Amino acid sequence: MHESIWSDLTGVSFTQGYIDAGGTKTRYVKSGDSSKPVLILLHGTSGHAEAYSRNMAAHGEHFDTWAIDMIGHGWSDYPETTYEIPTYAEHVLRTMDAIGKEKAHISGESLGGWVATHLAVHHPDRVDKVVLNTAGGWVANPEVMERIKKVSNAAADNPTWETVKARLEFLMYDKSMVNDDLIECRRRIFNRPGYSDVTRRILCLQEMDVRKRNLFTKEQYGSIQSPTLVLWTSHDPTATVEQGREIASMIPGSEFVVMDKCGHWPQFENADEFNRIHVDFLTG
């Protein structure tokens, strides 16, 4: 049976387009109308808005929902800049400015969760609720970092069906979830001129010295004022359930949920459960 991103979006009223976010051409996929509370969805390293293709319908019912390609990712611009967490956070703020929104719910997966944390710590006036989905920002595991570099560079340097499939399979508990449409979508992105070079810049966060200066302290997690959901998975390839629980324990009043039989993309792997948990938290 053929699975497709378009199958995920069947029956969804959505738009795809570009905005100028402080000089960065930024691609988005949007559902829901502008009268509703704003929700911004942030993908992980090497990712793109399609990471949320199975979430646009459920969230568009309740929110003005924007899944964006972060700077250096997807079909957005990839300028020669320092791809550390403050750069991504600044891009999200400029995106909010461009769409005329002062505040938003921010939900991020992996790298996106790292950026969401930065926004909650450093720009609390711009953040309503925050969701940290298998988020970076606390753990520095050399073996995991090396694996991410290896599979990402292999796919970006030589974006064949096999290398891109391997990169996506890294994300999944059930490898069969990596469908042909998803592979070809990312393969096209990795084939953009110069994308191999930008991938190396993006992967600076997998270098220990750079990563360490972008990690959060216990005090910074403790300063988060936004209502926070820390969502983890039973089989996350980047950090253990215990490490996810540790993050939640440092954030005052946060909720902690573990989704079973999921890897690094729970919003895609078990969209029904994710959508229920996510919408309940954001609307509660």
How far apart are alpha carbons 101 and 95 in whole angstroms? 9
Q: What are phi and psi of 187, to 5 degrees?
A: -60, -40
Tokens of 260: 């079973």
Give the Å distances, CA to CA, from 81 to 28, 42, 84: 21, 19, 9
How far apart are alpha carbons 176 and 168 in whole angstroms? 10
Residues 116, 41 contacting (CB under 8 angstroms): no
Q: In what order do the strands lie in the sheet with 104-109?
A: 14-21, 24-31, 64-68, 38-42, 104-109, 127-133, 228-233, 255-259
How far apart are alpha carbons 166 and 212 in whole angstroms? 27
Exposure of 94 by Cβ count < 10 A (0-12 exposed, 13-18 middle, 19+ buried)?
A: middle
Residues 38, 64 contacting (CB under 8 angstroms): yes
Residues 28, 66 contacting (CB under 8 angstroms): yes
How far apart are alpha carbons 112 and 106 in whole angstroms? 9
Residues 116, 70 contacting (CB under 8 angstroms): no
Annotated catalytic residue within 73, 105, 118, 264: 264
Q: For residue 186, give the 3-state DSSP assignment.
A: helix
Residues 267, 274 contacting (CB under 8 angstroms): yes
For the question of residue 91 being annotated catalytic, the response is no
- The residues assigned a catalytic role are 264
